[in-house]
Structure 1
């Protein structure tokens, strides 16, 4: 008996194996036709300079943001957890020896801390204050967990306000140094991102969202100057002045917190 030649089904069966293999490995191999930018906002296809431009534009246009993480500035290390918008901000700042809360509504800036902050605060920033006496301790207890309005002519006002000013803080944080290049893709807080790097990472690394608007998501600052996450873009929040019974007049120039 003469063997019949293979029917048309045979080539189909032979093709089935590589097609199935390609589908199974799609998460690991891009050669099978998977588009890494599928379902994204498309900024991953752009050059690093264009990604940075779009990220800054998105940040500038946003009405609000939460900034959290570690910031190293002028020799001091701070942990921030601030919610910011154009008209003010609210949140906490932790330095080496103290934690305090800040609230700003337009130009009115309030600081709230426990008695320990006021007892151990440094009045001139030189770290040479004498041990607090009974009078200092008593005064600190009156300020415990109360809002103190910071006078606009106080030297501490400008520094503290900077933590609550969305434009100032973002302008100071989002700049990368050196020639820009694209880095890795990652998922941060459930958000797909693309990295752009300054000076191959030595000038800082910024992760930009690949979902929705290309907001900055995480910043690794140059020179080990801290890592900050940015989120809740455009989510409004209330800013309310504290009640009179929650506020106390400090009565003299505010001291500086020791780092």
Structure 2
């Protein structure tokens, strides 16, 4: 599974926001991660027994795509840099944040509109232009122009189906309990790049947790399937700054 898409997000965010800053003329609240641990050697249970690892992963990705909503939260670390993710996803709508060493960025997607809100620390990390933008925008949400594909690319982190895409052959890795649920582990044979994805072995084959290659790499937990997230709503006009106004 593509853990690197999580750990590499700070580079994507920094580059897109740096472009924003240059074009201008003017706490960690995630849930605790759980250490990656080897799965039990017990065989996979129930209806998944007869399926290959890839077939089970396909079922998990289909279940995730079909889910009305879910919450994904946790942290991943690469080369000593920690990236924390906390996202509530309901179809194409999203609310949450990403925390990197440079600061925090809140993301919001409602209908066809997308917004982001970096912390002052993140803007400052982008240099002098970033500091200027931080002063202009303040604590408002920044509305992304629908034609601005570069800035919109920061929402790639919300595409969990892509993150669950393997880079090698998927193999079963035994079963274990995840938050009281029987789960089956799936591994990616690309050494050092993948992790262990645990999916529900009973009921809907939902992803439950994605562990990094080692305990130090962190993990992401998938919870709250089917919940209604009332906080996913468009901000009021007074709390929005349109990116089209940058440089005016």
Same fold (TM over 0.5): yes
Number of the residue aligned with 2:152:
158
Contact 2:52 2:172 survives alignment (8 Å): yes
Gaps of 5+ in 1: 1-29, 123-128, 254-259
1:1-259 equivalent positions in 2, closer than 5 A: 37=45, 42-44=47-49, 46-71=51-76, 78-118=83-123, 120-122=124-126, 129-130=127-128, 136=132, 140-154=134-148, 156-164=150-158, 169-199=159-189, 202=192, 203-220=194-211, 227-238=219-230, 239-249=232-242, 251-252=245-246
TM-superposed CA distance for 1:94, in Å, is: 0.7
Offset, 1:99: 0.5
**What is the aligned-residue RMSD (CA, Å)?**
3.4
Structure 2: tracts of 5 or more residues without a match: 1-41
Give the Cα separation in 2 of the matches to 1:142 and 1:59: 39
- Report the Cα distance in structure 2 between the residues aligned to 1:144 and 1:131, rounded to whole angstroms: 14
1-structure distance, mates of 2:209, 2:71: 11
Give the Cα separation in 1 of the matches to 2:146 and 2:81: 23
**In 1, distance between residues paired with 2:130 and 2:106?**
23
Larger radius of gyration: 1
TM-superposed deviation, 1:86: 1.8
Q: Secondary structure at the match of 1:50?
A: helix
Q: How many residues align?
A: 201
Tell me the TM-score normalised to structure 1 length: 0.64
TM-score (norm 2): 0.67
Counterparts of 1:183 and 1:192 in 2: how far apart (Å)? 13
User: Structure 1 residues 200, 98: closer, same or farther in 2, change over 3 A?
Assistant: closer
Query: Is the 1:116–1:140 Cα contact (8 Å) retained in structure 2?
Result: no
Equivalent in the alignment of 2:32: none
Q: Secondary structure at the residue paired with 2:122? A: helix
